[in-house]
Amino acid sequence: MKKSLTVTTPIFYVNSNPHIGTAHTMILSDFIKRSFKLINYEVNLITGTDEHGEKVAESAQKQSMSPEKFVDEKNIVFKDLAKKLWISYDRFIRTTEIEHKEMVKWIWNDLREKKVIYKDKYRGYYSKQEETFFTEKELIDGKSPNGSEVYFLEQECFFLSMESMELFLEEYLVEKFLIPYEKIPELKFFLRDLRDLCISRNNSSWGINVPGENSTIYVWFDALINYLTVSDFKKTGQWRDNIHVIGKDISRFHCLYWPCLLKHLGIKNMPKVLIHDWWIIKGSKMSKSLGNVIDPLDIIENYGMEVLRFYCIKESLIGHDSSFDFDLMIQDFNSLVVNKFSNLIYRTFKCLEKCCSFFPTQKKFEIELILEKNIENLEVKKYVKNLLNWCDNLNATIDRERIWTKNDKLLEICQEIHSLSKYFIPILPTVENWFNKPKAEILFTRIKQE
Interface with ligand MSP (CB under 6 A): 10-13, 21-22, 24-25, 50, 223-224, 226, 246-247, 249-250, 278-279, 286
Q: Which is nearer to ligand MSP, 199 or 394 (CB)?
A: 199
Residue 161 and residue 261: Cα distance in Å, rounded? 9
Q: Which is nearer to ligand MSP, 13 or 122 (CB)?
A: 13
Contact between 344 and 431 under an 8 Å Cβ cutoff? The reply is no
Contact between 250 and 268 under an 8 Å Cβ cutoff? The reply is no
CB of 310 to ligand MSP, least distance (A): 16
Q: Which is nearer to ligand MSP, 250 or 375 (CB)?
A: 250
Residue 151 half-sphere exposure, CB side, CA atoms within 13 Å? 7
CB of 32 to ligand MSP, least distance (A): 14
Q: Which is nearer to ligand MSP, 197 or 410 (CB)?
A: 197
Maximum pairwise Cα distance, the chain: 81
Q: Which is nearer to ligand MSP, 257 or 424 (CB)?
A: 257
Spell out the residues 6+ positions from residue 226 whose beta carbon is closer than 8 angstroms to its own: 11, 46, 48, 50, 93, 95, 100
Dihedral angle over CA of 31, 32, 33, 34, nearest 10: 50
Q: Which of 65, 47, 60 minimizes the C-alpha distance to 14?
A: 60
CB of 191 to ligand MSP, least distance (A): 20
CB of 74 to ligand MSP, least distance (A): 11
CB of 246 to ligand MSP, least distance (A): 5
Q: Which is nearer to ligand MSP, 278 or 310 (CB)?
A: 278
For residues 126-165, b (16+ Cβ closer than 10 Å) or e, as one string? Answer: bbbbbbbbbeeeeeeeeebeeeeebeebeeebbbbbbeeb
CA 325 to chain centre: 21
Number of H helices, E strands in the chain: 19, 15
CB of 163 to ligand MSP, least distance (A): 23
Q: Which of 38, 28, 22, 34 minimizes the C-alpha distance to 313?
A: 28
- Residue showing the smallest CB distance to ligand MSP in the complex: 247
CB of 114 to ligand MSP, least distance (A): 22
Query: What number of other Cβ atoms are within 10 A of residue 446's Cβ?
Result: 13
The enclosing H or E element of 370 equals helix 366-376
CB of 345 to ligand MSP, least distance (A): 32
Residue 94 and residue 102: Cα distance in Å, rounded? 13
374: exposed, middle or buried (Cβ count in 10 Å: 0-12, 13-18, 19+):
buried
CB of 223 to ligand MSP, least distance (A): 4
CB of 342 to ligand MSP, least distance (A): 28
What radius of gyration, in Å, describes the C-alpha atoms of the chain? 24
Q: Is-cis flag, bond preceding 180, omega within 30?
A: yes
Q: Which is nearer to ligand MSP, 8 or 348 (CB)?
A: 8
CB of 34 to ligand MSP, least distance (A): 19
Q: Which of 318, 333, 314, 320 minimizes the C-alpha distance to 385?
A: 314
115: exposed, middle or buried (Cβ count in 10 Å: 0-12, 13-18, 19+):
exposed
Q: Which is nearer to ligand MSP, 158 or 257 (CB)?
A: 257
Q: Which is nearer to ligand MSP, 22 or 242 (CB)?
A: 22
Q: Which is nearer to ligand MSP, 9 or 342 (CB)?
A: 9
Q: Which is nearer to ligand MSP, 65 or 286 (CB)?
A: 286
Spell out the residues 6+ positions from residue 376 whose beta carbon is closer than 8 angstroms to its own: 39
